[in-house]
Structure 1
Amino acid sequence: MTAGIVFALTFLAALGSGLMAGLFFVFSAFMMTALARLPLGQGMAAMQSINVAILNPAFGAAFFGTAILSVALAVGAAFRWGDAGMAWLLAGSLFYLVGIIAVTMIFNVPLNDALAAGGADTPEGAALWTRYLTEWTAWNHVRTLSGIASLACFIMALR
């Protein structure tokens, strides 16, 4: 990859990481707290609706597009290891791929799937929502911090 292409891909990856960090920050900072304050059925229903609505082209482009950019940048960094900024590129890519993509797929998505199948009108549903609020939010904190770290690394690579 030429320096111009690396710069452009890194810039786009920084934007994508920033978008994802911001989205996850919103949920960590106040959204989950607000949903937890709602009556059980309302909070669960709101989160179920969010989980359906978020699966759209804009989110997909930012989420998976940044993953594709991160893979390309990690490979490029490996081949151009001696060049300035390559360690930052690799670190930013790994923060995104492991801390956002892997955490989402391994932890958050299965919790979302369980929530989608649950109902608030049973004791099991209430227990599910309580567990969901705790576990999903904890893993979302990991995604938030990983997105911020990825963004910071990509910015450092652009210097």
Structure 2
Amino acid sequence: MSALARLEPAQGIAAMQAINITVINPLFMAVFLGTAATCSLTCSLLGVSSFFRWHQPGTAYLLLGSLLYLVGTLGVTIVFNVPLNDVLATVEPDSASGANLWANYLANWTLWNHIRTAAALAAAASLMAALCY
């Protein structure tokens, strides 16, 4: 995103629009959705099971890691990043509204991407801590 921010708004918008179109392909979607589905199912099962085994060591880490992944990674992607991409797809790159949108898009998309990344790292750390028990 830092590289795209250095471009003129019309060029940055066009580049991001091209990225968002190009990434929608069978291989990427299979890997992205397959991983998301597998992790979501696993984290959902771990989260629910943690309530039934709360007395066992490491269970809090299982619950925390599961919630961090489901809410902080998958939830943020669905609720924030994808809608931002959808709005960006509707603007003309060289329009005034596009330039206004671009500044907000860069700030918001980057913020939510950092939150998503931090949540994924924290989820992984928490789930690894659970394994140590």
TM-score after normalising by structure 2 = 0.88
- C-alpha separation in 2, matches of 1:51 and 1:151: 27
| Structure 1 gap ranges (5+) | 1-31
Match of 1:75 among 24, 42, 48: 48
Give the number of equivalent residue pairs: 128
1:145 aligns with 2:118: yes
Which residue of structure 2 aligns with residue 22 of structure 1?
Answer: none
Which residue of structure 1 aligns with residue 102 of structure 2?
Answer: 129
| Structure 2 gap ranges (5+) | none
- C-alpha separation in 1, matches of 2:128 and 2:61: 8
Greater relative contact order: 1 or 2 (C-alpha under 8 angstroms, separation 6 or more)? Answer: 1
CA shift at 1:76, angstroms?
1.4
Which residue of structure 2 aligns with residue 49 of structure 1?
Answer: 18
Structure 2 SS opposite 1:82: coil
- C-alpha separation in 1, matches of 2:18 and 2:129: 37
- C-alpha separation in 1, matches of 2:43 and 2:4: 32
Q: Look up the equivalent residue of 1:80 and give its one-letter code.
A: R
Q: Look up the equivalent residue of 2:72 and give its one-letter code.
A: G
2:9–2:99 contact (8 Å) kept in structure 1:
yes
In the TM superposition, what whole-angstrom CA distance separates every residue of 1:19-67 from its partner, at most 9, and x where no partner exists? xxxxxxxxxxxxx101111232222122223223444111111223212
Q: Look up the equivalent residue of 1:96 and give its one-letter code.
A: Y
- C-alpha separation in 2, matches of 1:97 and 1:104: 10
Which residue of structure 2 aligns with residue 61 of structure 1?
Answer: 34
- C-alpha separation in 2, matches of 1:37 and 1:155: 38
RMSD: 1.4
TM-score after normalising by structure 1 = 0.75
Alignment of 1:3-152 (within 5 A): 32-55=1-24, 56-152=29-125
Q: Look up the equivalent residue of 2:16 and give its one-letter code.
A: M
Q: Look up the equivalent residue of 1:40 and give its one-letter code.
A: P
- C-alpha separation in 2, matches of 1:108 and 1:144: 12
